[in-house]
Amino acid sequence: MAAHCPACMPRRAALALGLATLATPAAALDAIEPRFRRSPAPDGRRRVALTLDACNGGFDRRIADAVVAHHARATIFLTADWIRQNPAGLAFLLAHKENFRFENHGQHHLPAVLGTGTIWGLRIAGTLDAVRREVTEGAAAILAATGTTPHWYRAAAARYSPAAIPAITRLGFAIAAFTLNGDAGASLPAHTVAARASAARDGDILIGHINQPHRPSGEGWARAIATLAGSGVIWSDLDAMRPILMSP
Ligand SMILES: [Zn+2]
């Protein structure tokens, strides 16, 4: 996998209607990064949804322990490869099902992008058939491992060719974008992650990474979870928040 997973890289300045067109080398690939529109509620309370990608790699117990310790909730986007690579991590998550729910991050962590090439070092799926296989095989692995049927899909690198999005939704999955990138692919220092994530506003859907246990970002997430919990935040999820995907 890439040194820095993806969904990951800092938000680019040139966002139009919530979509970022990638600079080279990905621009040539016609890849887009859908975003959610933040949907605050009218009652003034602060709801946040924490989503954590388990791209291929390890298991960051610092984050998972903080979620459990502070009675938080997180949606873990699993890949089939991560499940196979992390039996102990999976067992931990399953032992705390009140804190974690599971959604689909694909089979082999391939961006849902057509053509040839790589994005952030990740080989792209290439064809619609490969995109569909990534989705369905990822879902099958999650069902087998957790007993739950996922219905949100986040492609590796959170990148999609426009034609891949309807191909995915026709399989019964909603595209899981985000509103606030907390760790830029687990590449940010702890204090930056803590500051970004702690500043989440009502309706924010945070994205982070739980597959990099040796990077400083995880410590930042642990601090942010403690801070958010201490502030009385309401831990929500994608189903409850029903965020609106910004159209290409
Ligand atoms: Zn990923």
pLDDT in tens, 95-112: 999 999 999 999 999 999
CA 154 – ligand 1 centroid, Å:
8
Query: At 190, which CATH number?
Result: 3.20.20.370
CA 90 – ligand 1 centroid, Å:
16
Summarize pLDDT for 108-125 with one digit per residue, the tens: 999 999 999 999 999 999
The parent domain of residue 65 ranges over 45-245
Q: Which helix (H) or strand (E) holds 222?
A: helix 217-230
Quick check: is 79 in a domain? Answer: yes
Quick check: is 84 in a domain? Answer: yes
CA 81 – ligand 1 centroid, Å:
11
CA 201 – ligand 1 centroid, Å:
24
CA 185 – ligand 1 centroid, Å:
8
Quick check: is 5 in a domain? Answer: no
Q: Above pLDDT 70, what percent of the chain?
A: 88
CA 41 – ligand 1 centroid, Å:
29
Quick check: is 63 in a domain? Answer: yes
CA 3 – ligand 1 centroid, Å:
11
Between the CA of residue 11 and those of 22, 113, 243, what are the distances in Å?
10, 19, 19
Residue 74 has pLDDT above 90, yes or no: yes
Other Cβ atoms within 10 Å of 66 Cβ, number: 22
Query: Which amino acid is residue 120, in one-letter code?
Result: W
Quick check: is 137 in a domain? Answer: yes
CA 105 – ligand 1 centroid, Å:
7
Quick check: is 168 in a domain? Answer: yes
Domain count across the chain? 1
CA 110 – ligand 1 centroid, Å:
8
CA 79 – ligand 1 centroid, Å:
8
CA 53 – ligand 1 centroid, Å:
5
Quick check: is 8 in a domain? Answer: no
CA 45 – ligand 1 centroid, Å:
30
Name the β-bridge partners of 112: 160
pLDDT at residue number 248: 52
Q: Which two tokens stand for residue 116?
A: 């040839």
pLDDT at residue number 247: 62
The CA angle 212-77-160, to the nearest 5 degrees, is 100
Quick check: is 4 in a domain? Answer: no
Q: Which residue has the tokens 């960051």?
A: 60
SS3 state of residue 175: strand
Choice between 104 and 20, residue whose per-residue pLDDT is larger: 104
Q: Which two tokens stand for residue 124?
A: 């792209």
CA 56 – ligand 1 centroid, Å:
7
Q: Which two tokens stand for residue 88?
A: 């102990």
